[in-house]
A = this chain, B = another copy of it.
């Protein structure tokens, strides 16, 4: 069952039922503009990651603001976007299993679809599925750019795979997927620079070997909100897969810039609105958002703009707040904004964005690909 929206347009934010996922439209729109401004005149394309927002509306807004398409991690996410009119989707991930491959190939009748591969078997199966559907799929070879997750070793192994793709009748070799996920959350700018310099070197050596074989990379893809400046500076990457930049979260707020201050390129636009449901003892308040409402894989959420109030413990449906001595106590029924620890899994908990401007609900956006895991 889809949950009914917890608000109606026109309401004040304080009237929204909780827990609710709040999107501050001014901050969100500023983030869209900032990304465009930072990338214009670099020649580098932006293909934002929909694993963060899971929303066809936001995908279309990003493309209106210059994005060339969308990335997803799952076929079910690609379906949600393509069925809502997104014309160009890259599955920045491996797709395994005949049922999933058939679904992926079918989408290529409606939109431009590309996908990653890191084994000969995957390429073979992609060709079978694309041939059966009589479509063409773009394929990027995923190399291990330092994250040690998926991806073939840079160099000869990647070249073998690219040749296999290029020789497959229904596949086109698109280039390299060289995403370094764990680098996004390295705290110092020097750590991030070094990690992406190494990733760029891996990509560069592979590009050179591919050129020797007559294989040109249309796309060198990667980057996230934490490192994209480094990928731009590399001169190697030409397509960036930022996701979190539109929302931000408590974890990204821990990344530091050259001065040792938190990186402040983008504004916090995403919040979990919660209600004080119990204030049983001095110094304590309990809110109605626990880890089902604000996942804790990257730590606890932060309390937004209430000095002296700290979110100190999450259970399934309760969040415990500690109120420092000398701080105004919180009252039952009070609404509080939390900054999610990690925006991606938080969004995936909700059916609706409650979009707010100047504390007024302006609109409701469905989270089209909520729960799209297959």
Interface residues in chain A, defined as those with a beta carbon under 8 Å from any beta carbon in chain B: 1-3, 6, 17-20, 51, 73-74, 76, 80, 93-97, 99-100, 118-119, 121-122, 144, 148-152, 181, 275-281, 284, 286, 288-289, 291-293, 295-297, 314-318, 320, 332-333, 344-345, 348-351, 366, 368-374
Contacts and interface: CB of A to CB of B under 8 A. Distances in A.
B151 A280 contact: yes
Contacts of A18: 97, 374
B149 A315 contact: yes
Contacts of A296: 296-297
Contacts of A292: 344-345, 348, 373
Q: Is the interface of A mostly helix, strand, loop or mixed?
A: loop
Given A96-B277, A119-B279, A332-B122, A320 B149 contact: yes
Given A19-B374, A94-B277, 20 more contacts: A1-B80, A1-B366, A1-B372, A3-B372, A17-B97, A17-B100, A51-B317, A73-B316, A96-B275, A96-B277, A119-B279, A119-B280, A119-B332, A144-B280, A144-B281, A148-B284, A150-B280, A295-B295, A296-B297, A317-B373
A291 B297 contact: yes
A206 to B, nearest CB: 15
A150 B373 contact: no
B150 A277 contact: yes
A305 to B, nearest CB: 22
A97 B277 CA distance: 9
Contacts of A275: 96-97
A280 B17 CA distance: 46
B316 A96 contact: no
Contacts of A149: 278, 286, 315, 318, 320
A1 B369 CA distance: 7
Contacts of A320: 149
Q: Which 8 A-B pairs have the closest CB atoms?
A: A150-B278, A73-B317, A96-B277, A291-B297, A94-B277, A17-B374, A296-B297, A3-B371
A96 B373 contact: no
Contacts of A371: 1-3, 349-351, 370
Given A292-B373, A297-B296, A316 B150 contact: no
